[in-house]
Amino acid sequence: MLSSLTALDYVTVGQAMSVLRNPRNARVDDYQSEISGLMDWLEACDFPATKAAAQALKAARIPHKDGIITESAARELSAMVNAIHLTLDHESKGRQVIALNTGGVSAKLRNLPARVALNDTQRHLLDETIRCLECAAYRAAAVMGWNLAYDYIRRWLWDDATRRGAFNVALMALTTRSGAAIYPTGLSTYEEFYSIRPLLGERDVLELMKDAGLLTGVYERLAMFLKDRNRFAHANDLVPGMYQTNHYIEQLVDIMTSAPFV
C-alpha cells in the first residue's frame, strides 16, 4: 500500500505533534484546534490505527482555568500524545511513503480547471499528470499531459455536431488501394475513436481533423508535440527533468486554452 505524503504533510503533522506534546500554558481552544487538524491529517493520509489511538485525545474534556489548560491536565495530555506518536511511528514503518514535490508542478497546469471545462475523464488525467510531476516521474508526466490535451481536443471535435460531421466526411473519404471505403459509416459514438477497426491512431485523428479544416494554425504544433510525446514514451537515452517536462506540458495547456478550442 502506498501512502503519498507531501512536504507540507510532514510540516503539518510535525507542527501539530510539537504543539500537542507541549500543552503547558496553552489555550484550550487552540489546543483543540490542533487536535482537529491532526485527526484530519490522519484521515487524509489513511493512518487508521493512529487515528483510533487519537480518538481518546479528541474526546477528552480538557480542564482549564480562564481558558488556559491546567498543569495537571497538561501532563496527562502530553502522555497521551506521546503514545499517539509511538503508534504513528509504528504504523508508518509498515508502509511505503513518498514525499511529493508539490512545488514541482506548473501553476498553469494546476489552474487549468479554472480556465476550461474538464469532464470526469479529463480531470482524472489531470490528477495523474500532476501526481507524476510531484513524484518526479517526468516521462510518465509528459505522456499523461499529452493524453489530457489529446482527449480534450478530441472531445472538442466530437461534442459539436458541425465539427463531428466535417470529421466524419474526411474519415469516410479514406479508401484502400482498390478504392473501397475503410470507414464507410464514419464514427457514431465517441468510444469508436479507440475501438473501431482498423484502429485510428492519434496521428490519424490529427491529420483527419486538419483535412476537415478543424486545426488551422495548430496542426503543426500538435504534430510536433505528438512526436515529442513519443520521445518521452519510448525507451531511449532521454532523461527529462522537471523544467523540461513542465515546459512541454505548459505548451499543451496553452493550446487547450487558445483558439480554436476556446
The string of pLDDT tens digits covering residues 87-118 is 988 887 877 767 778 889 999 999 999 999 99
Mean pLDDT (whole number) for 194-222: 97
Helix, strand, or coil (residue 100): strand
Distances 173 to 168, 195, 210, 225 between C-alpha atoms, Å: 8, 19, 14, 26
Can you give the pLDDT at residue 239? Answer: 93
Query: Model-level pTM greater than 0.75?
Result: no
Instruction: Give kind and range of the element (H or E) at residue 49.
Output: helix 48-59
Q: How close are the terminal C-alpha atoms of the chain, in Å?
A: 40
Of 22 and 251, the one with more pLDDT: 251
Please check the confidence at residue 122 and state whether its pLDDT lies above 60. yes
pLDDT at 55: 95
Q: Residue 1's pLDDT is what?
A: 35
Q: What is the pLDDT of residues 11-67, one digit of tens each?
A: 556 667 887 989 999 999 999 998 998 898 888 888 899 999 999 999 999 999 999
**Comparing C-alpha atoms, which of 126, 172, 115 is closest to residue 148?**
126
Q: Report pLDDT for 7.
A: 47
State yes or no: pLDDT of 185 exceeds 90. yes
Q: Are 76 and 35 in contact (CB under 8 A)?
A: no
Cell of 260: 480554436
Amino acid at 124: H
